[in-house]
Amino acid sequence: MNKLKTILIKGQVIFPGEIIGFSASDREKLKVQLEAYENNEELLLLRFKSDDELERKDSAFTEINGVIAKVESVKTRDNGIIEVAIRALRRAKLKSLDNYAENEYEAEVEEYIQSEEGFDRMLKSLQLTMRGYSDTDARFKNNFLNELLSIDNLPELLDRLRLTLNLDYDKRKSINAAKTPVEESMLLMEIMSEAIDRKEIAEKIKSEVDKDISKNQRDYILREHLKVIQNEMAKNSGYETVSDEYEEKLKKVKLDDEHKEKLKKDISRLNTASNNGAEGNVIRTYLDTVFEMPFGIYSEDNNDIIHAKKILDEDHYGLEKVKDRILEYLSVRILNPTGNSPILCLVGPPGTGKTSIAKSVAKALGRKYVRISLGGVGDEAEIRGHRRTYVGAMPGRIVEAIKNAKVSNPLILLDEIDKSSRDYKGDVSSALLEVLDGEQNKTFRDRYLEIPLDLSKVLFIATANTLDTIPRPLLDRMDIIEISSYTENEKYHIAKKYLAPKEIRENGLKNKVINFSDKAIKKIIHNYTRESGVRNLSRRIGDICRKCARELLEGKKSFKITEKNVRKYLGKEKVRYDEIEKEPQVGMVTGLAWTSVGGDTLSIEVNVMPGKGVLTLTGNMGDVMKESAGIAKSLVRSMAKEYGIEDEFFEKHDIHLHIPEGAVPKDGPSAGVTMTTALISAISEKKVRADVAMTGEITLRGKVLPIGGLKEKLLAARLAGVKRVCVPKENEVDIFELSAEITDGLEIVYVQDIKEVLKVALID
């Protein structure tokens, strides 16, 4: 440490190598500088923290970091002004400051720490950064870079680098506060890196701007070319310009004067908007859509009802009720062509032929067929269209369907209408209300087209798997036709007549190469599929055909598919049918249930044991079925005396009701009768006949209410070997509509009260 006379300066951050000048006409003001010059002494240049005189009251009014300097020259001008030039030599740190006379200071200092640890690594990093920085500053690159790169001493490099960079006051201040050369190097590299980043961002922005300008110029040129091409094509067609072509189309379109006038305005706008690509394209797209619409164009219906019946019988086996209803509808259309068309809705399980029936109706009438899938559609604009104010606006699916059909009276299939959804974009079901209402759809207005469409001549057929998810107002506008499950005999005829030939043809086999025996088809139906429709049956026949196709290429010439070799192609039997008990049991009753794949038997077991009157329910039951169990228990308690059950029995015994196959969810009210019978049997210890099955909803008074899915339930009863079935009296009308194939061999007992059921089921 050594003591140096100190000069305090304002608002400047001085680095080694820089020269600072002082001037005055009074020698007293330059006393310290002149004495240092005469004595060849070094000085300390120290900066005030603040330029405010009032803040310089204590020892902390100066910065800690200063610079050791030496007076380089003294000159006296003609006017008596003395000029002193001082060169900064090296940095120093203030230890203490002594005010030994008025405005004269002496400082004890410690020179800048210059440990060489990390110098080599930092020197290379600094040189690399300088090369990158040179691309941002041409002056630096041309005048200083090579000279700086030749310096291999870090402190010396820093002294030179500071003077070449354009540093503002704050950056000079932060660099001056650095404690070591390594720390100072980090700060300088950070400053240069910021400049590099700024240049890269600026170049990227410029590139994007240039790209946009280039794209706009390119688009403009292409639009002008397109305009010329369109006009030339129009001339080849006998028109002077594109707008002339639209004018000619406007004369031919069958619209009233009001809408023709609006279209005329759009054509006029096309002339003025031709240079503006976006607006011109929107107008052209709209006009193209309008002039492609088949206004006033209708196909002629085939009004031969005999021909229609022949087509339906050829394309579908069974479904007599459905075909009769469609033929009735077609008959009314023939007799009253101007009447409103009812909207048919075909409801049934998957794979029962709903979509193919719609195709057959179109074929029978000779109408164009268009399918619109509504599964998962949640945007109301899909039906009503988008307003033309939106970017990328387009007409709704109804308008698109009519445009594609090229006639105003096609058959439109609204497929999966029960699976349309509702979200923040609107409700598709509500949008369909206008489309499917005969009083409203005469003037259906699409938001994009903005021209009323007459949909009264369009034949709409909807399909659905269930009615539960269709809103009531929409359901009210449709004529429901239910398609129930196929019997095994119906599946056999469908497979033999339609499915097997189709799969043989699609898999590249000829009839003479492969042949399915009747028993083989029946075995596939009974042991390898379990469904309401025939979709899986078609897949299993396809599986056999594919395996035969491979064997054919391996050398085998022909194939005979029999009952015995079905297992060779399809593996182990996939479907197991429940069978009824051989002997009467106590507390075990066979019920009947409807599932998504058809009917099924439902065994209900009841055990009674000493306890405190707790009713336990197991078997994965839904809420409705649990309520039926509670109703059944209350009904049994009310009938206790009649069946010799003690009054205190229910307080001293626990009851456990179980439905096997606990992993399968079960719900619905139709097991009420079965649960009541099982409870009575278990409590009274009376056996239940093994060959009896039952179905029906029960009330607290013991009344048996009607149920649905009767056809499927009776089919399941036959497969399980049931001889007698208890059915609610109110379902008697449904039995008359079933074919003899289903009811033959079954004794059907119609019941109105639980006592009638118990009389049939229990053994005294």
pLDDT of res. 1: 54
pLDDT category of residue 39 using cuts at 50, 70 and 90? confident
* Distance (Å, whole) CA 371 – CA 110: 92
- 733 burial level (CB within 10 Å; 0-12, 13-18, 19+): exposed
- Judge whether residue 470 has pLDDT over 70: yes
Tell me if 2-111 shares its fold with 488-570: no
Query: Longest Cα pair distance anywhere in the chain, in angstroms?
Result: 146
SS3 content of the chain, % helix, strand, coil (to 5): 45, 20, 35
Q: Which two tokens stand for residue 549?
A: 């196709």
Going from N- to C-terminal start, the domains of the chain cover 2-111, 119-199, 239-292, 305-314+323-480, 488-570, 585-761
pTM score of the predicted model: 0.61
pLDDT of res. 23: 84
pLDDT of res. 337: 75
* Distance (Å, whole) CA 129 – CA 59: 40
Answer CATH for 585-761 from 3.30.230.10, 3.40.50.970, 3.30.465.10, 3.90.600.10:
3.30.230.10
Torsion sign, CA atoms 454, 458, 464, 466: positive
DSSP assignment letter at 687: E
- Judge whether residue 51 has pLDDT over 60: no
- 108 burial level (CB within 10 Å; 0-12, 13-18, 19+): middle
Task: Tell me which fold the domain 2-111 belongs to.
Answer: 2.30.130
Q: Which two tokens stand for residue 287?
A: 């006009």
Note the pLDDT tens digit of each residue in 665-690.
888 888 899 999 999 998 888 889 88
Note the pLDDT tens digit of each residue in 475-484.
888 888 888 7
pLDDT of res. 577: 67
pLDDT category of residue 83 using cuts at 50, 70 and 90? confident
Cα 526–chain centre separation:
39
Note the pLDDT tens digit of each residue in 499-544.
888 888 888 887 678 888 888 888 888 888 888 788 888 999 999 8
pLDDT category of residue 224 using cuts at 50, 70 and 90? low
pLDDT category of residue 13 using cuts at 50, 70 and 90? confident
Residue 138: CA count within 13 A, CB half-sphere: 0
- Judge whether residue 55 has pLDDT over 60: no
Q: How much is the average pLDDT of 245-268?
A: 81
pLDDT category of residue 660 using cuts at 50, 70 and 90? confident
Mean pLDDT across the chain, nearest whole number? Answer: 81
- Judge whether residue 57 has pLDDT over 60: no
485: left (phi over 0), alpha (psi -120 to 50) or beta: beta
Please tell me the CATH superfamily of domain 305-314+323-480, with its number.
P-loop containing nucleotide triphosphate hydrolases (3.40.50.300)
Ramachandran angles phi, psi of 653, nearest 5°: -135, 145
Catalytic residues: 670, 713
Q: Which of 711, 684, 710, 686 is nearest to 697 (CA)?
A: 710
* Distance (Å, whole) CA 350 – CA 479: 19
Question: Is-contact 701 661, C-beta < 8 A?
Answer: no
Let me know the angle formed at the C-alpha of 458 by 399 and 379, rounded to the nearest 5 degrees.
40
* Distance (Å, whole) CA 405 – CA 412: 9
- Judge whether residue 437 has pLDDT over 90: no
pLDDT category of residue 750 using cuts at 50, 70 and 90? very high
pLDDT category of residue 241 using cuts at 50, 70 and 90? low
* Distance (Å, whole) CA 189 – CA 202: 20
* Distance (Å, whole) CA 559 – CA 568: 12
- Residue 178 amino acid letter: A
- 170 burial level (CB within 10 Å; 0-12, 13-18, 19+): exposed
* Distance (Å, whole) CA 341 – CA 262: 31
* Distance (Å, whole) CA 650 – CA 635: 12
Give bridge partners of residue 560 from the DSSP assignment.
515
* Distance (Å, whole) CA 261 – CA 362: 36
The percent of residues above 70 in pLDDT, for the chain, comes to 89
Question: Is-contact 639 686, C-beta < 8 A?
Answer: no
CA torsion 315→321→322→323, rounded to 10°? Answer: 50
* Distance (Å, whole) CA 66 – CA 84: 19
Note the pLDDT tens digit of each residue in 84-124.
888 888 888 787 777 767 777 777 777 766 566 777 788 88
Note the pLDDT tens digit of each residue in 115-136.
667 777 888 888 888 888 888 8
Note the pLDDT tens digit of each residue in 563-598.
888 888 888 888 776 666 778 888 899 888 887 667
The percent of residues above 90 in pLDDT, for the chain, comes to 7
pLDDT of res. 58: 47
Q: How much is the average pLDDT of 395-404?
A: 88
- Judge whether residue 56 has pLDDT over 50: no
Interaxial angle between packed helices 354-365 and 305-315, expressed in degrees from 0 to 180 and rounded to the nearest 10: 150
CATH 3.40.50.300 at 488-570, yes or no: no
pLDDT category of residue 376 using cuts at 50, 70 and 90? confident
pLDDT of res. 180: 77
Note the pLDDT tens digit of each residue in 711-749.
888 888 887 888 889 999 998 888 887 777 778 878 889
C-alpha pair distances (Å), 254 with each of 286, 291, 454, 462, 596: 17, 10, 13, 30, 49
Residue 568's contacts (CB-CB under 8 Å, 6 or more residues apart) are: none
* Distance (Å, whole) CA 529 – CA 548: 20
